[in-house]
Amino acid sequence: MKNKLLPLDIEDYAKKFSGKILLRQEIPLNDEQFQQLLTLQNFTPTPSIIKKFPYYQCQRCGSRKRSLLPSFPCTTCGKEHLYCRNCISMGRILECEPLYVWSGPSPAWEKHTSPCTWEGELTPAQQKAADRIEAVIGNNEKELLVWAVCGAGKTEMLFPGIAKGLEQGKRICIATPRADVVRELKPRIQKAFQHVTVQALYGGSKDKEADAQLLLATTHQLLRFKQAFDVMIIDEVDAFPYHKDPSLPFAAERAKTDASSTIYLTATPRKEHQLRMDRKQLPHVFVPLRYHGHPLPVPQMKMTFSLRKDLRNHEPPSAFLSWLQKRENPKRQLLIFVPTIAMAENLHENIAKLLLQEKVIQTNKEITFVHAEDPDRAKKVQRFRDREITVIITTTILERGVTFPSVDVAVIDAGHDVFDEAALVQIAGRAGRSADDPTGEVIFFHDGKTEAMVQAIRAIQKMNKRGGELHGMPMVW
């Protein structure tokens, strides 16, 4: 079907717009073109905020909270109606403006032949999980949880499955709550599938079109999708804010087609997943071994009675100094986790002073701090990875998804609420990730151990034990 008004084939529009739920201003067409597609019934307007007794619900983010749906005196329609505050950063949803979904022909995605260009080899443990993933995607099974310890090489395990999906002409999305993780995944996935268009979507990303067959996205970006993906892979499913913000699971659920497969990847499954696994409602595969075969470093707890006082004076805890003096391998870089942004800023100066004194660093330039609101955060992390920076003080943003070859990890005030069990397991998983230096020290500085710390250590020991059994030599603790 050719049309004077529309410069592209309907098939191309289908690729661009199908599977999305968009505001008018998010559709880059002029009014005439848009009107044409509307009259051809290729776009269908749907209400943006609906009333389901006894609540209202935003149809993009699923938010129902009354305080997030306040009223708005609209000067265009002259009425007082609702708008959504929850997803306003993606463009304002007004009750008087509909959302548009594509209702034209559904696009035919390419059926690739052997799309995977990755030439590495999987370890037996990885292979087992990879086979399972491939089977789930190939046979359209509904769900699978892949429980793999930090540093098991989760991304590589996905490759055969993704390849299978692409061969079958499926549309695939790898979603994760963290933008950092998306940024790190993009080059790795692109390298493994060199002839497939891969797009990465996150707040401020260069790719905006989102018309590729293989998409990487933050879970936030899924708010713009509806019935889009045949395969949905959710990486780090236990990470903040996915388990805290109900609109994200809502969006992930909506973004899948009816006959889709979902793969969850995690190193630290949350309670609800654990429960479903125990009840055998959620099929899962467990990878207890790191790709280099060494066990996970087990954290040590260091009690420091003066922690509160030291922190009040913006000093690192005294036990930190004594630990610093007798590290096993002083050549390792140092990753210091703190619970709050304010503490990162406050401690920065005094830790720098201490490290200079102890000759861990030569100049002040070798230490820095990052947090979620830091505009240079990606750059700083890259410099740490390039070993230009020796010590980095960070909030929990670097707890997962980032790989540094050889680090020691210190957690200051590990008893703080932000360090829950999952966070601590992830933090401990930053150490000993390369085959060249498979161990690393992980120290929790605290002034009273918490349930989270104890459980985290227990979980790591348990995983090591299961990994050891796999080796045929049960480890003794």
Partner 1 sequence: MECLWCGEEIIMEISWQNVFWPEKPSRLCTVCKQNLNFIAGNRCAKCSRSTEEKICADCRRWEKQLGVDVLEWNYSLFSYNAFMKEYMAKWKYRGDYHLGFAFQDAIRQVYKEQFSFLKKDAVVVPIPLSKERLHERKFNQAKMLAEFFPLPVKEILGRKHGEKQAKKSRKERIFSQNPFFITETLNKPVILVDDIYTTGTTLRHAAFLLKEHGCSRVFAFTLIRG
**What is the rounded CA–CA span in Å between residue 374 and residue 392?**
13
**Which listed range, 87-95, 153-161, 213-221, 349-357, lies at the site for partner 1 (CB under 8 A)?**
87-95
Strands 198-201 and 229-234: unpaired
Chain residues 7-36 in contact with partner 1, contact rule CB under 8 A: none
101 neighbors 43 (Cβ within 8 angstroms) = yes
- Specify the residue, 63 or 155, whose C-beta has the smaller distance to partner 1: 63
Judged by CB under 8 A, which stretch of 40-48, 82-90, 114-122, 231-239 contacts partner 1?
82-90
The single residue among 24, 34, 46, 92 that binds partner 1, judged by CB under 8 A, is 92
Q: 407 has which bridge partners?
A: 333
- Interface with partner 1 (CB under 8 A), residue from 76, 113, 325, 363: 76
State how beta strands 214-218 and 198-201 pair.
Answer: parallel
Question: Which of 47, 70, 105, 120 contacts partner 1 by CB under 8 A?
Answer: 70
Total of chain residues touching partner 1, rule CB under 8 A: 13
Query: Cβ of residue 419: shortest distance to partner 1, in angstroms?
Result: 19
Render 164-200 in DSSP notation, one character per residue.
HHHHTT--EEEEES-HHHHHHHHHHHHHHTTTS-EEE
**Contact region for partner 1 (CB under 8 A) — 56-64, 72-80, 135-143, 420-428?**
72-80
- Kindly list the distances between the CA atom of residue 263 and the CA atoms of 58, 172, 198, 285, 416, in Å, as whole numbers in the listed order: 27, 11, 19, 11, 32
The number of angstroms, rounded, from the C-alpha of 385 to the middle of its chain's C-alpha atoms is 19
User: Closest separation between CB of residue 55 and partner 1, Å?
Assistant: 17
E-state strands within 149-299:
172-176, 198-201, 214-218, 229-234, 256-266, 284-287
CB 103 within 8 A of CB 44: yes
Minimal distance, residue 169 CB to partner 1, in Å = 39
Comparing CA positions, the residue from 391, 389, 397 lying closest to residue 423 is 397
Contacts of 400 (CB under 8 A, 6+ apart): 150, 178, 181, 236, 239, 267, 426, 429
Residue 78 within binding range of partner 1, rule CB under 8 A:
no
Instruction: Tell me the window of 47-55, 88-96, 106-114, 311-319 that interacts with partner 1 (CB under 8 A).
Output: 88-96
Tell me if 113 contacts partner 1 by CB under 8 A. no
Nearer to partner 1, 72 or 167 (CB): 72
Peptide bond into 54 cis (omega under 30): yes
Nearer to partner 1, 123 or 221 (CB): 221
**CB neighbour burial string for 448-457, b if at least 16 within 10 angstroms, e if fewer:** eebebbeebb
Write out the DSSP string of 57-82: EETTT----GGGS-EEE-TTT-SEEE
Nearer to partner 1 by Cβ, of 15 and 60: the residue is 60
**Candidate segments 80-88, 145-153, 156-164, 452-460, binder of partner 1 by CB under 8 A:** 80-88
CB closer to partner 1 out of 83 and 320: 83
Q: Which is nearer to partner 1, 340 or 434 (CB)?
A: 340
Which one of residues 74, 354, 418, 470 is an interface residue with partner 1 (CB under 8 A)? 74
User: Can you tell me which of 3, 35, 89, 329 binds partner 1, judged by CB under 8 A?
Assistant: 89
Q: How far is the CB of 364 from partner 1 (least distance, A)?
A: 24
Q: Which is nearer to partner 1, 76 or 325 (CB)?
A: 76
Nearest to 459 by CA among 413, 426, 415: 426
Candidates 73, 204, 448, 472; binder of partner 1 (CB under 8 A) is 73
Count Cα neighbours of 24 within 13 Å in the Cβ-side half-sphere. 14
Dihedrals phi, psi of 129, to nearest 5 degrees:
-65, -40
Which of 91/405 has CB closer to partner 1?
Answer: 91
Q: Which residues make up the interface to partner 1 (CB under 8 A)?
A: 67, 70, 72-76, 83, 85, 88-89, 92, 94
